[in-house]
Amino acid sequence: MFVSQPTTTHLLKSEHIASSASTTSSRSFIDTFLGTSKTINISRRRRSNKQEFSSKVTGVGSIRAVISSGDSIVETKTAPIDKSNGALTAKGTDVKVVLTIRKKMKEKLHEKVEYLWESFINGIGQGILIQLVSEEIDPETNSGKTIESNVRGWLPRESDSTYLVEYAANFTVPSDFGCPGAVLVTNLQSKEFFLMEIVVHGFKEPMFFPANSWIHSREDNPESRIIFKNQAYLPSQTPAGLKDLRREDLLSMRGNGKGERKEFERIYDYAKYNDLGNPDKDDDLARPVLGGEERPYPRRCRTGRPPTKTDPSTESRIEKPDPVYVPRDETFEEIKQATFSAGRLKGVLHNLIPSLAAAFSSEEIPFGCFSDIDKLYSDGVIIKNGDNSGLFEKLLLTSLLTKAMSAGKGLFKYNIPSIIQRDRFSWLRDNEFARQTLAGVNPVNIETLKDFPILSKLDPAVYGPPESLITKELINLELQGMDVDEAIENKRLFIIDYHDLLLPFIKKMNSLPGRKAYASRTVFFYNKGALQPIAIELSVPPSASSTINKRVYTHGHDATKYWIWKLAKAHVCSNDAGVHQLVNHWLRTHACMEAYTIATHRQLSSMHPVFKLLHPHMRYTLEINALARQNLINGGGIIEACFSPGRYSMELSSAAYKSSWRFDMEALPADLIRRGMAVEDSSMPCGVRLVIEDYPYAADGLLVWSAIKEWVESYVAHFYTEPNSVSSDVELQAWWSEIKNKGHYDKRNEPWWPKLQTKEDLSGIVTIMVWIASGQHAAINFGQYPFGGYVPNRPTLMRKLIPQEHEPAYEDFLMNPQNAFLSSIPTQLQATKVMAVQDTLSTHSPDEEYLGQLHQFHQRWINDNEILKSFSKFSSKLEEIDEIINARNKDHSLKNRTGAGVPPYELLLPTSEPGVTGRGVPNSVSI
């Protein structure tokens, strides 16, 4: 039997037809709704666990408005409810509130049983309590008018998506209630649930309250969850009835900096990087704290775990596979876990890599010949099942490895990286070595050579004379008749200089077993449209046993110099791989975006326009960073095991932050000008002209940058119309202050921080953040396997120094230079480890959200037609960029994009299919 009110049913049918085209979650509704509703004029209805369920349902007795202040709960009693209140008896309108809840896509038997029980509880009205809060204020209580009802319905009907279900609550809204601006949701059950959205039917048109959030159980936290309507308001424009809720919602996410965070919480707070080491487990796993005057660093999300027993300054670790705390809504959604990142990354780290280690008889086995490397793609790695039964199924692999099964064995075949797919010998050539500085996975360190002599800024008393051994005389020999001064003036000489960053670490790095490195400088000459390396300087710190600590190598024409030059380039590549991973990738995108994300949730209300703009660009970042701290950048993790700096990796990252990171230089045009790779030119779209026109990263990046900038400027101009509207925005000013003074505490006093007084200031700051999260991260992340999956092209570490003529190893080198090269690059185990991780980090998940696109469940993120038109224009612009980049990749005059065996530059193409594609710009740092 179905019990419903005819007027409401008729209303729902008409509104369902009107809204079905734009929403999946509103396609079907519950046929049965039971119960009554009540109206109460209060600031906020919150209850403690001590209250009886009957009082929650009936509303009889005193009402408690609970305001979160950090982790504490301040309760404010109001007068008992007067049931004769006119709002309760006045003739009103029937309203139906529909909640869309997401179930697990893959449920175990006990979870199915639990779900049926939850459905029953919700059906009889004892599972979820809903309160509508009006934008209008009640003059008697000085707070928003409120009306409440329990969710009811005898078993919900599933929507077109089988894992989405809908529940509803009935209300009779008084004529003077006004417009709802928020919904309070109280989960009366013992388990959390994932709320997609709330739709209110019964007013002039459906009202949407997007949630996409986990709703905690009242047993975990007595506070109700606040879900605001999809209307953006500056703080000064907040409707009177919502002001208290806006403040309370922000307070609920800040915490008080005390205690260990719980899994269900949504607390965003700051901490130093003091959780990378594990001294309680092993003295060799102790690591210094990053953050402070000696080792400055951005702040991470605080987890509040107790200190280690060995070192009070180090936070105790949660080791794999247990999760590290991140605020509840920052965790990966199930589709990402099931099809890719959490499941796959953990599978690779926890299952595949130990199995690979067991497959090799020793960690020190080098590749015997280049065909051994080729066999990784043709023959694969044989892993005995033994204790690894079910390993293949656990890994949930897509493009990383091709699975084949034989009797009692598992065979993993790596996919052929794109760098050798068209030309397996391209990595040997100088022009390819140079091309990758402009169109590879790390195209952000090359700069023009501005002065001679090349000088170090390090202390000469410690590191020797500052002058480089790369002299004018040496360079002149390579310039084909051109003078050095002329080449510098015409911007024809370029350099990648890792000398000052690396030299202070070289002695410590070379003391590690199986590691040998130099600090490097590489000079390039641009001639006839092509970049060529002409000199490499490799340095070690001065020592009492050696008077020579610098050597310069050039490309010779005899066999011996050819192989020596090849080894020198390999050392440069290993340095480049380390700087890329630790500085440009981890520090500049992952770590910095974490600080911005924390500040955004702490200081900007979810109804703030800038929050709505930035929110898609913060998706999954805290979770992937937590996984990285647990498995990748931690003491003894993959980065330390497979990259040259070893245990000093994160200290090196800190040194780069201290010496060269600055927020204003993270803007792409500013960075290009700083590096001398572009000059100011007002006639160009972004105000800059490239020094090397065929610079794929910069050329394509400026297209994406320009589109982001135009979108952000139109967005900001729409909301900030008054001259002082930016400077008077209290939330915005607190947000920017917190980014500088908490998120980047160690850089808080730097003079280069941009001001935030005008809408132009705001547009510039937000454009930088969106670019870092999207285009910048995509350009330096998704090429990791395509370029690094073939270890000779981009070795992540070197195990031997270049042999010198007076050394015994020199004779061995002359007898077998191929063996000397292969025994210098990573071992078979090291290579297969890093290849597996690089591929994982290069993979797009099926639920990726790309720049300029909206996820199907985020279509109603804002109720503003002008903004939606601007976003549509932004999306169209990115489609045009896709066409422009594809056309550039077919232009045979652009030698860094086309040619025999040259892979096209696609890293900044806006969209992609799932998997390792070497293209696609996601909204956020999501892997």
Strand partners, 505: none
Name which of 355-359, 586-590, 720-724, 891-895 the model is least confident about.
355-359
Joined tokens for residue 572: 């440069």
Q: What confidence category does residue 411 fall into, taking pLDDT thresholds of 50, 70 and 90?
A: low
Q: In sequence order, which ranges of 464-605 are alpha helices (DSSP H)? A: 472-476, 484-489, 499-510, 559-579, 592-603
Strand partners, 168: 98, 152
* pLDDT over threshold 90, residue 6: no
Joined tokens for residue 869: 């038109």
How far is residue 240's CA from residue 137's CA, in Å, rounded to a whole number? 6
Q: Which helix (H) or strand (E) segment is 58 a member of?
A: helix 53-58
Q: Which helix (H) or strand (E) segment is 815 a member of?
A: helix 808-815
- Tell whether domain 584-792+835-916 is in CATH 1.20.245.10: yes
* pLDDT over threshold 60, residue 341: no
Q: For 409-427, what is the mean pLDDT?
A: 85
What are the residue ranges spanned by the domains of the chain? 92-230, 445-581, 584-792+835-916
How far is residue 186's CA from residue 828's CA, in Å, rounded to a whole number? 55
Q: Which of 216, 555, 590, 615 is the catalytic position?
A: 590
Residue 148 CB burial class (10 angstroms; 0-12, 13-18, ≥19): buried
Give the pLDDT confidence of 255-308 residue by residue, as tens digits. 999 999 999 999 999 999 999 999 999 999 999 999 999 999 999 999 999 999
User: Are β-strands 193-201 and 207-215 bridged in parallel, bridged antiparallel, or unpaired?
Assistant: antiparallel
Q: What are phi and psi of 204, to 5 degrees?
A: -60, -35
Q: What are phi and psi of 679, to 5 degrees?
A: -125, 155
Contact between 549 and 530 under an 8 Å Cβ cutoff? The reply is no
What b-and-e string marks burial along 492-518, b requiring 16 or more CB atoms within 10 Å of the CB? bbbbbbbbbbbbbbbebbbebeebbbb
Active site residue 580: no
User: Are β-strands 38-41 and 143-150 bridged in parallel, bridged antiparallel, or unpaired?
Assistant: antiparallel
Q: Which of 625, 634, 781, 889 is the catalytic position?
A: 781
Q: For 111-125, what is the mean pLDDT?
A: 72
Contact between 696 and 897 under an 8 Å Cβ cutoff? The reply is yes
How far is residue 677's CA from residue 679's CA, in Å, rounded to a whole number? 7
- Structural Rg of the chain based on CA atoms: 30
Joined tokens for residue 141: 């209580």
Contact between 151 and 126 under an 8 Å Cβ cutoff? The reply is no
Q: For 359-385, what is the mean pLDDT?
A: 82
Q: Which of 215, 495, 692, 927 is the catalytic position?
A: 927
Q: Which of 613, 652, 283 is nearest to 503 (CA)?
A: 652
Name which of 147-156, 207-216, 521-530, 596-605 the model is least confident about.
147-156
Q: Which of 182, 147, 188 is nearest to 42 (CA)?
A: 147
Active site residue 617: no
Q: Three-state SS for 601?
A: helix
Q: Which of 577, 441, 589, 587 is nearest to 926 (CA)?
A: 589
Q: Which of 571, 617, 777, 844 is the catalytic position?
A: 777
Residue 388 CB burial class (10 angstroms; 0-12, 13-18, ≥19): middle
Q: Which residue type sits at 433?
A: F
Q: Which of 201, 216, 571, 585 is the catalytic position?
A: 585
* pLDDT over threshold 70, residue 733: yes
* pLDDT over threshold 90, residue 566: yes
Q: What confidence category does residue 480 fall into, taking pLDDT thresholds of 50, 70 and 90?
A: confident
Q: For 861-883, what is the mean pLDDT?
A: 96
Active site residue 777: yes
Contact between 784 and 632 under an 8 Å Cβ cutoff? The reply is no
Report the share of the chain in percent with pLDDT over 90.
70
Contact between 412 and 376 under an 8 Å Cβ cutoff? The reply is no
* pLDDT over threshold 90, residue 908: yes
Q: Three-state SS for 770?
A: helix
What's the CATH architecture for 92-230?
A: Sandwich (2.60)
CATH number of 445-581: 3.10.450.60
637-to-276, 309, 321 alpha-carbon distances in Å? 9, 21, 14
Residue 305 CB burial class (10 angstroms; 0-12, 13-18, ≥19): middle
Contact between 649 and 643 under an 8 Å Cβ cutoff? The reply is yes
Q: What are phi and psi of 187, to 5 degrees?
A: -90, 105
Q: For 82-111, what is the mean pLDDT?
A: 65
How far is residue 333's CA from residue 103's CA, in Å, rounded to a whole number? 11
